[in-house]
């Protein structure tokens, strides 16, 4: 019970931090960066995706006069505009470093499956698709029935009916491991080889597993790391960009492509990722991709099989005016 109260208190503190003015958030973020930098004796790096959040973090770090590498993990699945944006910045900044995965997304998808739903849902589906191997019996039973090894029912750990279509014969394989191979492994390899510790722009406001994190600087464990913008909101990022005239990638703004209106991107992770696609309102990422990047759209939807997976959960991938 004490642990529960302590955790609840930390979440309340997080909510309080999220409500303070941007000026105070910037000051708090700088303190956390400085603390982590000094604690790690300057052996740090900033994970830089080219997205707006990490671009803001880079701007803050630069404004502090701190020297560190900004590491761009190029999975091969970034939007071309993001890659061009990073290259443009790198032409004037020798601190930007690029790393790549050891395996291609094509190999990961062929061997493990597609990223669909969320990391939690994808892991449930993956384990159930693998079947009860003996080694995973408890986990398999938990995801299938909701009952843990002690016989206690935990509804949130039972795979919802909506996603059980992926357990039928002929359904595409699903995985939660895509990001581990393509994004995390290259950064981990860089960290181990350089002896540096990561600073990232993750925010609890993004939801998912990030929402449960309440501590900005983590010094314990094998991988000390810092998330100095953890308590920022999406609106704070945009306010900072406008106040400081920070250049960000063009895809974050409404635009016209080949005479057709395309709404702004909210997230610019891997183009082919299906995580969260079922939650998007209006024109989703795959519908936008059909207009902005038809070649990539054909690859992911037709060749890689994402279209079949999206059909199973009734997510559109062709713009409505082309149906």
What was the pLDDT predicted at 2?
Answer: 36
Phi, psi of 249 (to 5 degrees): -65, 145
Whether 198 shows a pLDDT value over 70: the answer reads yes
pLDDT tens, position by position, 292-303: 999 999 999 999
Give me the chain's average pLDDT, please: 92
Taking the whole predicted model, whether its pTM rises above 0.75 is answered as yes
Q: Residue 48 and residue 58: Cα distance in Å, rounded?
A: 8
pLDDT tens sequence across 152-189:
999 999 999 999 999 999 999 999 999 999 999 999 99
Quickly tell me which residue has 């630069």 as its tokens: 62
Q: Which domains does the chain have, with CATH numbers?
A: 2-103+180-244 (3.40.50.620), 116-167 (no CATH), 250-313 (no CATH)
Q: How far apart are CA 43 and CA 22, in angstroms?
A: 28
């Amino acid at each position: 019970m004490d642990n529960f109260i302590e955790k609840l208190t930390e979440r309340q503190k997080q909510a309080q931090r999220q409500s303070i003015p941007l000026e105070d958030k910037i000051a708090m973020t700088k303190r956390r960066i400085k603390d982590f930098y000094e604690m790690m004796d300057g052996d740090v790096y900033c994970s830089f995706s080219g997205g707006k959040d990490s671009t803001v973090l880079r701007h803050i770090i630069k404004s502090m006069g701190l020297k560190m590498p900004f590491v761009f993990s190029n999975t091969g699945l970034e939007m071309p505009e993001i890659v061009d944006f990073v290259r443009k910045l790198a032409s004037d900044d020798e601190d930007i470093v690029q790393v790549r995965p050891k395996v291609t997304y094509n190999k990961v998808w062929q061997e493990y499956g597609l990223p669909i739903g969320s990391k939690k849902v994808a892991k449930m589906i993956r384990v159930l698709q693998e079947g009860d191997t003996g080694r995973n019996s408890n986990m398999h039973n938990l995801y299938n029935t909701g009952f843990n090894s002690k016989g206690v029912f935990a509804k949130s750990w039972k795979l919802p009916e909506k996603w059980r279509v992926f357990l039928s014969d002929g359904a595409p394989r699903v995985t939660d491991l895509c990001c581990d191979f393509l994004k995390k492994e290259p950064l981990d390899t860089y960290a181990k080889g350089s002896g540096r510790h990561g600073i990232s722009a993750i925010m609890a406001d993004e939801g998912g597993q990030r929402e449960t994190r309440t501590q900005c600087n983590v010094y314990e464990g094998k991988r000390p790391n810092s998330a100095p913008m953890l308590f920022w909101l999406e609106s704070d990022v945009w306010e900072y960009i406008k106040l400081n005239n920070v250049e960000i990638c063009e895809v974050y703004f409404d635009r016209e492509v080949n005479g057709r209106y395309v709404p702004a991107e909210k997230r610019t992770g891997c183009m082919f990722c299906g995580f969260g696609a079922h939650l998007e309102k209006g024109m989703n990422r795959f519908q936008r991709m059909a207009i902005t990047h038809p070649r990539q759209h054909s690859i992911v939807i037709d060749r890689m099989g994402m279209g079949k997976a999206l059909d199973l959960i009734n997510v559109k991938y062709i713009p409505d005016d082309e149906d």
